[in-house]
Amino acid sequence: MSEHGYDFDYFVIGAGSAGVRSARIAASHGAKVGIAEASALGGTCVNLGCVPKKIMAYGADYHGHFRDAKGYGWDVPDDIELNWKTLIDNQRSEVSRLNSAYENTLSNAGVEVIRGYAKFIDAHTIDVAGRKVSADKILIAVGGKPRTPYQEGGEMMPTSDDMFSWPEKPKRAVIIGGGYIAVEFAHILHGIGAEVDLLYRGDMILRGFDDDICEHLVKEMRNQGVNVHLNCDMEKCEKTKDGYVVHGSNGERFECDLPLAAIGRVPAVEGLELKAAAVEFLGNGQVDVNEDYQTSQPNIYACGDVANQNNLTPVAIQEGHVIADRLFNAQRDRSVHYDNIATAVFSDPPIGTIGLSESQARDEGYEVKVFSSTFTPMRNQLAKKKEKTLMKLIVDTKSDRVLGLHMVGLDAPEIIQGFAVAMNCGATKADFDRSMAVHPTSAEEFVTLR
Instruction: Estimate the crossing angle of helix 313-328 against helix 17-28, to 10 degrees.
Output: 30
Q: Helix, strand or coil for residue 387?
A: coil
Range 337-348 average pLDDT: 96
The CATH number of whichever domain residue 411 belongs to comes to: 3.30.390.30
Same domain for 303 and 432: no
Range 322-344 average pLDDT: 93
Could you list the residue range(s) of the whole structural domain that residue 94 is in? 8-66+71-146+266-328
Q: d(Cα 183, Cα 127) in Å, to the nearest integer? A: 39
Same domain for 441 and 370: yes
Same domain for 225 and 362: no
**Does residue 405 contact residue 355 with C-beta atoms inside 8 Å?**
yes
Q: d(Cα 110, Cα 210) in Å, to the nearest integer? A: 45
DSSP per-residue string spanning 288-330: P--TTSB-SSTTEEE-GGGT-S---HHHHHHHHHHHHHHHHS-
Q: Has residue 14 been placed in a domain?
A: yes
Same domain for 352 and 225: no
Pairing of strands 112-115, 33-37: parallel
Average pLDDT in the chain: 96
Number of folded domains that form the chain: 3
**Does residue 420 contact residue 402 with C-beta atoms inside 8 Å?**
no
Q: d(Cα 373, Cα 448) in Å, to the nearest integer? A: 10
Same domain for 277 and 135: yes
Q: Kindly tell me if the per-residue pLDDT of 2 is higher than 80.
A: no
Domain boundary among 263, 291, 309: 263
pLDDT value for 310: 93
- Read off φ and ψ for residue 42, nearest 5 degrees: 115, -15
Same domain for 209 and 77: no
Rounded to the nearest angstrom, the gap between the alpha carbon of residue 359 and the centroid of all alpha carbons in its chain is 23
Same domain for 318 and 302: yes
**Does residue 212 contact residue 206 with C-beta atoms inside 8 Å?**
no
Q: Kindly tell me if the per-residue pLDDT of 338 is higher than 80.
A: yes
Q: Has residue 85 been placed in a domain?
A: yes
Q: How confident is the model at residue 248 (pLDDT cuts 50, 70, 90)?
A: very high
pLDDT tens-digit series, residues 136-178: 999 999 999 999 999 999 999 999 999 999 999 999 999 999 9
**Does residue 423 contact residue 416 with C-beta atoms inside 8 Å?**
no
Q: How confident is the model at residue 1 (pLDDT cuts 50, 70, 90)?
A: low
**Does residue 26 contact residue 9 with C-beta atoms inside 8 Å?**
yes
Same domain for 307 and 231: no
Q: Has residue 15 been placed in a domain?
A: yes
Same domain for 216 and 96: no
CA-to-CA separations, 171 to 84, 189, 191, 255, in angstroms, rounded = 11, 9, 11, 11
**Does residue 193 contact residue 82 with C-beta atoms inside 8 Å?**
yes
Q: Kindly tell me if the per-residue pLDDT of 3 is higher than 80.
A: no
Sheet with 253-256: strands ordered across? 234-239, 244-248, 253-256
Q: d(Cα 442, Cα 367) in Å, to the nearest integer? A: 28
**Does residue 182 contact residue 190 with C-beta atoms inside 8 Å?**
no
Among candidate residues 430, 377, 441, the one with its CA nearest the CA of residue 402: 430
CA dihedral of residues 211, 315, 288, 115 (deg, nearest 10): 130
pLDDT value for 157: 98
Q: How confident is the model at residue 334 (pLDDT cuts 50, 70, 90)?
A: confident
Q: d(Cα 74, Cα 80) in Å, to the nearest integer? A: 14
The CATH number of whichever domain residue 40 belongs to comes to: 3.50.50.60
Pairing of strands 144-146, 172-176: unpaired
Same domain for 272 and 123: yes
Same domain for 363 and 314: no
Q: Has residue 288 been placed in a domain?
A: yes
Q: How confident is the model at residue 120 (pLDDT cuts 50, 70, 90)?
A: very high
* Helix/strand/coil percentages in the chain, nearest 5: 35, 25, 40
Q: d(Cα 411, Cα 393) in Å, to the nearest integer? A: 17
pLDDT tens-digit series, residues 50-89: 999 999 999 999 999 999 999 999 999 988 999 999 999 9
Q: d(Cα 113, Cα 106) in Å, to the nearest integer? A: 8
Same domain for 168 and 255: yes
Q: Has residue 278 been placed in a domain?
A: yes
Q: Has residue 93 been placed in a domain?
A: yes
Note the maximum CA span of the chain.
Answer: 72
Residue type, 387: E
pLDDT tens-digit series, residues 216-247: 999 999 999 999 999 999 999 999 999 999 99
Q: Helix, strand or coil for residue 266?
A: strand
Q: Has residue 189 been placed in a domain?
A: yes
Q: Has residue 1 been placed in a domain?
A: no
DSSP per-residue string spanning 30-72: T--EEEEESS-TTHHHHHHSHHHHHHHHHHHHHHHHHHHHGGG
Q: Kindly tell me if the per-residue pLDDT of 125 is higher than 90.
A: yes
Catalytic residue numbers, as ranges: 439
